[in-house]
Amino acid sequence: MSEHDRGGVYSVPGKAFTRDERYITDRITADGSGEGEWPVAAGRYRLVAARACPWANRTIIVRRLLGLEDAISLGTPGPVHDADSWTFDLDPGGADPVLGIPRIKDAYLARFGDYQRGITVPAIVDIASGEVVTNDFAQITLDFSTQWGAHHREGAPDLYPEHLRGELDELMRYIYTEVNNGVYRCGFAGSQQAYDEAFARLFSALDRLEDRLTGQRYLVGDTITEADVRLFTTLVRFDPVYHGHFKCNRAKLIEFAALWGYARDLFQTPGFGDTVDFAQIKAHYYEVHRDLNPSGIVPAGPELLGWLTEHGREALGGRPFGDGTAPPPVRAGEVAPTSI
């Protein structure tokens, strides 16, 4: 698998992990009038998001919480991509049923004939032209909240409240650098020193978040926000993948009282756990990362039933959806193939 298809420089002997952050920064905005902007239009775009990928999982969660299913369709590549790209091997005939392509790379090449950056998910594709619009995962979900409001479901929560954006932006940057990307710095460290430094940074951040969440139900304010979505997708992969595969093994998630309760609380909230496929998550990391796991053997554990146990976080107060409501059940055709 090429460096570009993994979305970053992972293992460089003697060096720390550095992620390739050169994304396509075009945006889909309400009027599409600015440079590099495309207009919001229901039915025009398709979100391509593999359930195995934490960055893509974010977009599936936010799309579901906001009720954008009718406005933006969803394509889900399989968890084990080939040397070229994420592939639609789970779909009949091995091609996305809307885009008609066997791999997401084709959408990148349709727009950029010699694309030299990461072939990553999530990606949003313009259906008519078959061209990729953006793969800027951090901006995609913010734009779902701020630009697609005309297509939000009735009762959609405010995941990016304007009066909290300063605090949210600062915290989300911290979560990205220290936790979301921190596990990768451990897993793909190119030297013992790089690993030791990454390990210390990661668990320092987890300890800090443990303290923060001991006395409050959610990260910012008393409702679920974008920050919770971003932390959740790393936490839900921690014990099945990052603890062993990425050597993040000072402690398991289940050994953090607050973080484990918080993660279960979110998992049991409609829109979170119902987007997660643990089998795909494990298949992706253990089968694709042959530099870390040459045999490709996928471990049988860990036990997952704990995700469904009582968490007691309601005692901290908070209203998951604020003045809004929970999303309806997952639509037919979008149910995660495997679940607990």
Residue positions in the annotated binding site for glutathione?
Answer: 86
- Is 186 noted as a catalytic residue in this protein? no
241-246-247-249 Cα dihedral, nearest 10 degrees: -40
- Identify which of 148, 125, 10, 7 has the alpha carbon closest to the alpha carbon of residue 70: 148
Helix (H, G, I), strand (E, B) or coil at 98: coil
User: Which of 271, 300, 270, 232 is closest to 144 using CA atoms?
Assistant: 271
Query: Does the annotation count 195 as an active-site position?
Result: no
Do 175 and 227 form a contact (C-beta atoms < 8 A)? Answer: yes
Name the residue with tokens 């979305």.
Answer: 7
DSSP 198-250: HHHHHHHHHHHHHHHHHS-SSSSTTS--HHHHHHHHHHHHIIIIIHHHT---S
- Contact in structure between 300 and 255 (CB atoms under 8 Å): no
Contact 327, 64 (CB under 8 A): yes
Distance CA 270, CA 144 (A): 18
CA-wise closest residue to 103 among 125, 82, 122, 117: 82
Residue among 10, 23, 53, 286 flagged as catalytic: 53
User: Please, are residues 317 and 51 in contact by the beta-carbon 8 Å criterion?
Assistant: no
Under 8 Å between Cβ of 130 and 16: no
Cβ 83 vs Cβ 91: under 8 Å: no
Count other Cβ atoms within 10 Å, centred on residue 82. 15
Annotated catalytic residue within 184, 218, 262, 286: 184
Residues 6+ apart with CB under 8 A from 6: 118
**Binding region:** 86
**DSSP symbols for 114-157:** T--S---SSEEEETTTTEEEE--HHHHHHHHHHT-GGGPPTT--
Residues labelled as active-site residues: 53, 184
